[in-house]
Structure 1
Amino acid sequence: MSEIQANSIGKYSGNNVSLSDPLKFKSYTTTQRDALSSVAGDVIYNTTTQKLELFTNGAWTQMGGIDAFSLEYLLVAGGGGGGSGRNSQSGGSNAGGGGAGGLLSNVSGDNTGGGVSAQPAFYAVTGQAYRVRVGAGGLKGEGAYAQQPSNERSGRPGTRSQFHEFKARGGGAGAGRNFSYSSGTDDRSLSYGTTGGSGGGGHTGTANNSEEQQGYDGGAGNNSNYNAGGGGGAGAVGGTWASGAVAGTGITSSILTTTEATAESVGVVSSGYVYFAGGGGGGGNTNNGAPAGGLGGGGRGSSTNADNGVDGTANTGGGGGGGASRTDGYGWDGSNGGSGVVILRYPSDFTCTVGAGLTQSTNSPLTQGTKKVTILTAGLGTVTFS
């Protein structure tokens, strides 16, 4: 039996009812509402649609306002490509690793890259087409392997990922041995990577800055012995030449479980967590071996007279590994950055229609209790909710 509770009831003259406090209706989700034994005239507040609703003519009717709902997003941009090593018979002339793609999230309890707290809550509306873009990994620096003289180019930056007006910036490119792609010419005085969501690793003594607080700086190289820096990650700065040019680590996200991430080939699972946006390792030499990529999809760098580096992992935003020099007169090329990903989580009462031009993961959309998760792994297009 329902009851009314009040501190006091007063009598007023005239045809009106006055309340000293706001009138609050009982709250239900859509699922809870549909389980009620409702009769005509019942009024509730639906926390899923965020509206008052009236039961009339055998159905629930919304009582004004737009049909809005809370939507969570994780945006990871494409990682930057690693630079190419030097044609050097003496060795030791290595290139920077690619920076991780910028990471932007509004998932409660998670962080955005660069140590920034989650972005504010966002309320989507039905019927609106939201623009989505999944960032591609930056191309490797090439022109070193099997070419004399080598071009020793920097990698290229990754491209941005986007949902609506929110954008994650592409990862910075790793510096090539004495060549900067950003200059557009073979300018041997430029030997630093580019800025980006996370900075690309340097070749000489310049650290490379992240932008928009979505990741960390790349590591600096060293002028005297031409060692390189690792690419910055979403969770840490890239290592310098003295630490073996290791890369910055990525960060975790709770928007997917480890089981889901593994099944959908998204992110990197480690120790019970899902990581994204690790930087690429810089090129190594015979003393420091092949520098590791950052946890979260960053590719390791190559090592002198050993092998090429490793591409950043797809759908993680990991940076590509940097190229090393070779003592036979050639150099190793850099490695490509990993592609990014866009992940959206919303109430299961709504349907997400993915437009042409976008690619979903294998089992998308996933169901997480009262939520659905749409995972977009490539392309450019729009999504609409109903």
Structure 2
Amino acid sequence: MTTTDPYPATGAWMPGDPLGHRRLFTFATDRRFALDSGVTLSDVTIAYETWGTLDADGANAVLLCHAWTGDSHAAGGATRGHPDAGWWDAMVGPGKPIDTDRYFVVCANVLGGCQGSTGPASPNPADGQPYGSRFPVVTIRDMVRSQARLAEHLGVFQWMAVIGGSMGGMQALEWAVMYPRRVRSLVAIATCMQATAQQIAWGGIGRQAIRLDPKWRGGDYYDAEPGDGPTEGLSIARQIAQVTFRSDNVFTDRFGRDFSGRMETGDVLGMWQQYEVERYLEHHGFKIVRRFDANSYLSIGKAMDLHDVARGRGSLERAMARVQIPTMSVGIWSDMLYPAYQQQQIQAVVAANGAPSEYLEIDSPHGHDAFLINGDQIAGPLDRFLGDVSKSVI
């Protein structure tokens, strides 16, 4: 990487950039918003998108919660303001499992994110400069509290369903625990009730990659010229994560031990000759730097590691006893990051509460990302689950 490299210092959406389908809701203008860390924020903005129409009785609202590097653009094609199609476009829309002809669907960019919601790249109201290193630690619970403020703004006082995969599933679980009367059903996909030591370990390695990039500058790099931001650190962090998102079988079947260039008899082996799998990881690493922010990657990753529904609630069983609603838990047999046993535990705990609870397992070699890749296996059960909930008495 050189100083002439075209990669931006941050891939965050900034005020003045095309809005696309985003809408912006700002709260805490009169009274500050308190975080779990004890810090308070003012003038907090949440970027969100909606699809469909809210019924007169408000009973058809569905909240989608995105994963680590997702955003509010869950459905719809690439357009000005949205360089990629929606992250769950196959599942959300007219006639699709999350049918926007029937349901009012909302997806918000999380607090700490970088696609319109208040995060490290956002201007601090105190001086108008990016928060950078001054942005506080946020938790999954903080994200959910901010979504609750958005729900009130939208006139949604009870979600028909809260649905999320990976980090989105953490938010969905916290919704059900924090606001049990405001959620009628729960769909938790490829997620957990508590981050495990191994999950924290993977996240910690990625954070170190960013911290050790000298161009990260302790988190204050927003005035850097293109090519002079923490591109390398963010790229390596993403490459580390990408390994955990897929399975050994998929990597082996797709790449094997092939070198990225031809190896002729007699060629001298070089230290930095790349295997095809290395090129694949590098591609994903540098792809993210155009659409994401290194500080947001740190912030959201830390929130995932801090995730524990039992924290401050006595025990896991005591916390989850608040979940008394129909629940669908979805696992993936090849998921090495959030193994299927964690979703089976969710199903078992909710069933022990006497609430309707079911477990669905995706049969896919693709690992953690299978919930985004193999939507066909979720489509029918999810459509049926939502249909049953929509018919239930409020």
Q: TM-score, normalised by structure 1?
A: 0.22
- Flag the structure with larger Rg: 1
Q: Which has the higher strand share?
A: 1
